[in-house]
Amino acid sequence: TLKYSDFSIFFLCLVIDKVSNKYVFVTGCDSGFGYVLCKKLERHGFQVLAGCLTQKGADDLQRGTGPNLKTILVDVTDASSVKMAMQWVQKETGGKGLWGLVNNAGRSVPMGPTEWMRTEDFHSTLRVNMMGVIETTLAFLPLIKKARGRIVNVASVLGRLAANGGGYCISKFGVESFSDCLRRDIHYFGIKVSIIEPGFFKTAVTSLEPIEKELHRLWNQLDPEVRDSYGEKYFEKYIKLQRFIMNTFCDPDLSKVTNCMIHALTAKYPRTRYSAGWDAKFAWIPFSYAPAFIVDSMLSAVLPRPAQSCS
């Protein structure tokens, strides 16, 4: 007969050992998922190398942590900054290679109706969320290969189902595609690639203040003819809808996401995709498999109708 200890041994065999000798580099650690993840990884015994955008973010992260967590300022949109971070990590790891790379840095704004956007509005998000992931991954790949490690890319449920205009959904679809191609290309070297697909959580990405600020900017820069076609009521209802979504559906429990990241870094057989959050599991991901006309109808029922709508 099997005892509880037998099950414990079985599950322990499915987890990597000697984590104290393993280094993990995480981007976007000033707040949110990256901040929480670094704290947890340090408690697990990993050697944590955290990339922060600001000095304040780095100072806040290091407060109350031990010598196993070190920080560096890095801007994933700047190739020279990413290269400097890679060289720093290479020195810190001392030739052991990098066990884990977590591409977590991201931004959400501007987001809104596609017609309200200018080309540069798309670029500002794509540079961080998609090109930043690609730039960082390619720079750190030699270190990952040396350790036969893990790459964890943070996408989104909005990388499975596009629900709003702007660069965010496009960038997350790009992360999904890049990660799939990368996984198939480098599995020969013993490298595992996992994708995290969070639902809506309370982080800087879902903060209402910058979202509303950007929506007002987009609205005010529109040509009068375009603005009239939507109408002031449409704009007011759109703002109210964003407030309702962010205040109602954003989960404050960030551990639902960071636990997925930790599993991807510590499991002997990590998953290809992790859907984090109840809304991801029971709404966004299932809806992504629905026929387009059903998804279109559902979203149209929620969104306000423009003043000069034809239907």
- Identity of the amino acid at 38: C
Nearest to 115 by CA among 228, 261, 272: 228
Q: Provide the pairing of β-strand 23-27 with 100-103.
A: parallel
Tell me if 141 sits within 8 A of 100, measured CB to CB. no
Catalytic: 168? yes
Query: CA triplet 86, 88, 89: central angle to 5 degrees?
Result: 65
- The SS3 assignment for 48 reads strand
Nearest to 211 by CA among 105, 110, 106, 107: 110
- Alpha carbon 156 to its chain's center: 6
Spot the catalytic one: 23, 35, 168, 230: 168
Strand order in the sheet with 100-103: 69-73, 47-52, 23-27, 100-103, 150-154, 192-198, 273-276
What φ, ψ does residue 75 adopt, rounded to 5°?
-115, 110
Neighbour count for residue 194 (Cβ, 10 Å): 23
CA 109 to CA 10: how far, in whole Å?
Answer: 45
Tell me if 162 sits within 8 A of 173, measured CB to CB. yes
Structure tokens at 246: 């962010």
**Distance set, CA 293 to CA 158, 288, 297, 298, 310 (Å):** 17, 12, 6, 9, 18
Catalytic residues: 168
